Amino acid sequence: MTATQLDTRVRVRDFMQALQDSICTRLGEIDGEQTFKEDAWEREEGGGGRSRVLAEGRVFERAGVNFSEIFGTNLPPSILQQRPDAAGHQYYVTGTSLVLHPRNPYVPTVHFNYRYFEAGPVWWFGGGCDLTPYYGFREDAAHFHRTFKTACDRHDPGYYPKFKQWCDEYFYVKHRQEPRGVGGIFFDYLSSDWERIFAFVQSCAGAFLSAYLPIVQARQSMDYTERERKFQLYRRGRYVEFNLVHDRGTLFGLQTQGRIESILMSLPPLVRWEYNYHPEPGTPEAELYEVFLVPRNWASEGEKDGDELIKERP
């Protein structure tokens, strides 16, 4: 390993650990009832991580924030298919990921993952963040997308439209023929200029709390009934299906003999499936399918109304 490689690994690792720390601190403050419990683990082939979970909180039914740093020699097939030039080298991967499953059905689930990969002379960054509402609010989706567009535009005005489309295509439940949510940004295998891309990743990761917490604060105290709760649990089933069937991170973790508890931490604590369900026309549940599970230019929604985007449903 060269001195340059050691420096890049340390810089990214330190950033990812600090990111986990800052997000856990802020989410714990927002929940106000439960705190994160840390589970440090080691991987037999090399490396380890810190899994932090907040469970049965006031706001978050389950919130998981992972940091990992692993290395080894046996690259999984999912990586070699995309980057055959990484074959024959020891690999190194570090990153931070989270999935938050709120208690209130009006607060959306959110996911992010930012990661760095090295294998000999080959390196790249990947990641992104996406929002999965159960009951849609146009102003929430617009705020979320506009926050990440601003973060992207600081580095390249072409990033947001490209990575927004990539997110729409990636977080698509193919066997259901529907998007998982309202999207966000997603990118992978970025490797043109190390310093430039690392700065971009830092900006996007740093935008997360500003993109998500105003939505949580606006929706967490809204009244809901058993009907909204049942629909939330039903839609969580789509989340489970995507993560177990399509998600690259889940596949990579399983193929590299990762820690199962950490890999499956993203799954919600409660979920339900209903046979051949169809929402009644004209209901908020139908609106989710008709308006919010359709890719659209959310960043332009509500621009004429200024920045006060987070409102309550009448």
* Domain ranges within the chain, ordered by starting residue: 3-305
The CATH number of the structural domain formed by 3-305 is 3.40.1500.10
Choose among 98, 29, 24, 99: nearest CA to 59: 29
Q: What is the DSSP string of 2-44?
A: -HHHHHHHHHHHHHHHHHHHHHHHHHHHHH-S--PEEEEEE-S
For residues 141 and 311, the answer to whether their CB atoms sit within 8 Å is no
pLDDT at 250: 79
Name residues whose C-beta falls within 8 Å of residue 64's C-beta, 6 or more positions apart in sequence. Answer: 51, 52, 53, 54, 98, 99, 100, 265, 266
Choose among 114, 115, 47, 120: nearest CA to 83: 120
For residue 279, count CB atoms less than 10 angstroms from its CB and return exposed for 0-12, middle for 13-18, buried for 19 or more: middle
Choose among 66, 83, 87, 63: nearest CA to 75: 87
Helix ranges restricted to H, the chain: 3-31, 77-82, 138-153, 159-170, 194-206, 208-219, 226-245, 248-255, 260-263, 284-287
pLDDT at 306: 39
Name residues whose C-beta falls within 8 Å of residue 104's C-beta, 6 or more positions apart in sequence. Answer: 59, 219, 220, 221, 222, 224
Query: Would you tell me how many other CB atoms lie within 10 Å of the CB of residue 121?
Result: 10
Angle CA 68–22–12, to nearest 5: 45
Q: What are the residue ranges in the chain where pLDDT is below 50?
A: 305-307, 312-314
pLDDT at 38: 96
pLDDT at 308: 53
pLDDT at 247: 80
For residues 198 and 125, the answer to whether their CB atoms sit within 8 Å is yes
Cα gap 104→31, rounded to integer Å: 12
pLDDT at 2: 60
The token duo for 206 is 């740093």
Cα gap 303→10, rounded to integer Å: 40
Point out which residues pair with 184 in neighbouring strands: 130
pTM for this predicted structure? 0.92
Name residues whose C-beta falls within 8 Å of residue 28's C-beta, 6 or more positions apart in sequence. Answer: 34, 35, 36, 54
Catalytic residue list:
111
The token duo for 56 is 């049965």
For residues 231 and 284, the answer to whether their CB atoms sit within 8 Å is no
